[in-house]
Structure 1
Amino acid sequence: MPLRWEALYLGNISTDIDSIEGNSVGGVFVSENASSPSVLGTYGAGGDRGGLTTPIYENQHSVTTVNRFGSTATLSANNNGNLFEFFQTDRNGDGTAENYNFDGLFRYQVTLTYFDGTTADTTVLIAQMDNGDMWLVPPFSAGLPDPTLTAKAISNVTLNSAVTNQLFDLSRDRQVIAFACFAEGTMIQTPDGAVHVQDLAVGDTVQTHDNGAQAIRWIGRATVDLEQAPHMQPIRIAAGALGAGSPSADLIVSPQHRILVRSAIAQRMFGASEVLVAAKQLLELDGIELAEIGDSVSYVHFMCAEHQLVTANGALTESLFTGPEAMSSVGPAARQEILELFPELAEVETAPVRPLVKGRHGRKLAARHQANGRDLLS
């Protein structure tokens, strides 16, 4: 019974959709403002509702539902003497989960606008909190999946009409889905601003942490069947999980993808304040977990002339490093292509941009940060 799942934050509105608690018609609870013009409209960057300045796909959060009275299977839409049930999530990215009082669940016919400008019409459930926050929640666990929610990264959600003015309690047991956000959503910093990783090409430049603008010399894309290769299950790093507001939005990477750690603990353990650690070694930390995204995942790798630190969704991470593990993971055709571009790699081992912390040492580093309550960037 999944009581924790992914939801999309749509922004905040001043209109209370269910303004009169307990209002009913014929024994059915109803909402007074489900069809209000101040509720209907477009949410997400450039939209006229919600106030977000970023696309919806950058506002995905893990939500835990907390039940305080009544049926443990639901969150009640009618609060009992101001005793609200709530969503628990780190929406502001400060590393600490906040409580948001659940006020009601509503069904809307919507148009989803994807990152590439294409659209899809569907019916979704929207939860509103008592402060006006709006959330698109996944379907009930026993219901049919909605492929429009995972087809591509969602930039905007337009509420066209209320399917009904009925007010619903929220079933806590919901589908655990991952809204597309890696191949179509991860933002890589370039000299001209952040660019979707799937839009990068050989010859484009990325902004590196140490050496300014550097050209991409090789780029590779691969779709992995996770049933055939479960060891390639991606890792989700929640917004703010690294500390210092990093990443700025949830970041999904392959298990071996290395993340920058900067801390006094790293200095004491390895003699260097900045080290690179594979994401899979950091799973003990809060906010870093296996990403449940379905049966397959698309990965994008890119390589500069030298190993570099680049910024992905606001987090410092690595470009492709041509060490033995990376070279064995890209496949024979990609290895041949890389060696044609960089023939010296066949004879000379390339140097990493920061010390690489491997295996149990990486896990021990994570454990010490967790035990001491220290961020990886501190």
Structure 2
Amino acid sequence: MATGNQQVIIVGPAHPLRPGGITTFNERLCKAFIQSGYQCSIWSFSLQYPSFLFPGTSQFTDAPAPKGITIRSVINSVNPFNWVKVGMQLRRSNADIIVVRYWIPLMGPCLGTILRFVSKKKGVKIICIADNVIPHESRIGDKQFTGYFVKPVDKFIVMSRQVLADLKQFTNKPAKLIPHPLYDNFGTKISAEEARAHLIEKLGLPIKQEDKLLVFFGLVRHYKGLDILLDALAKTKDPSIKLLVAGEFYDKAQPYFDQIERLGLKDRVIIHNQFIAEADVKYFICAADCIIQPYREATQSGVTPVAYHFEVPMIVTNVGGLPEMVPDNEVGLIAEPDANDIALKTDRFFEMGKAYFLPYLLNYKKKLSWDVLVHEIADL
């Protein structure tokens, strides 16, 4: 619990930017700081990505702002004059702790410049929560941008061993591994029957109450391996298993539709090519017998703590930090990132049954607390 008037400023995306994993995380962390007695606010982006670099339909949401937290949309990621202005404003603030999110090297010049102004002020600690240090999809300048960013940061928090190892390539500053807390802000758990009824009646999705249902949840990008999963689905021994793909395509969608046609999976795959609003998340997750993450590569995944919150078991691939969060044969199953093994583990999951995994889920989710993260940041 904080004493006095300790102030924390979180630097990273927040409402009205769309509620993806990092936006949701920042808003939930801000509430956790406030609940622990800190004064906390978020300094977000007025422009996060130029439109030509953003693959989705919109960067913004029409949903109401989260209650009880202050968000300032002040950072322009491509305007160096803005970086100087925001850096000076942040330096003049009364913050004791700056918590900055780092998820893509593209933000390195912007955030690194802003933090250089703050780092010159005595008594302020800059803590970075690093989601990715080496990105899933590399671009020219990644290493230089990350190298520039890390210099003004005092200490780091990572949420997987993979990111910790990647970070060591850039700095020897103190870093601590903390498990990703639960996303508990999407509502309470509902039954699979209620969730499926909503998807059927409200969204018109062609699923049935009796279906054996895998759910691939989140934005569709090449590194997430949906194409591998489709090949795996065609190889399962049980032809009654269906797959619901719930998320907006950031890749071209047509090759996936062509693959579904070629594999004869039209009756087994349901595509919901839309960004999932925060209010609908619980319906897609709770409708699942299993959340499946067939990623080619990963650091950690924001989908995993959502599945934990709603107590839905997972099949994840043995890449990056995914196995750290999903103990094999307990919270879920771990497969190699190839179609044959994913098919094998999918069949095994339905042979074991969803109920087998529930006691383990209930036990492990107790360890994934926002209070733990707040305490560790303050401790650093």
- TM-based fold match above 0.5: no
Higher Rg: 1
Report the structure, 1 or 2, having the larger strand content.
1
**TM-score, length-scaled by structure 2:** 0.24
Give 1 or 2: higher helix fraction: 2
What TM-score do you get using the length of structure 1 for normalisation? 0.24
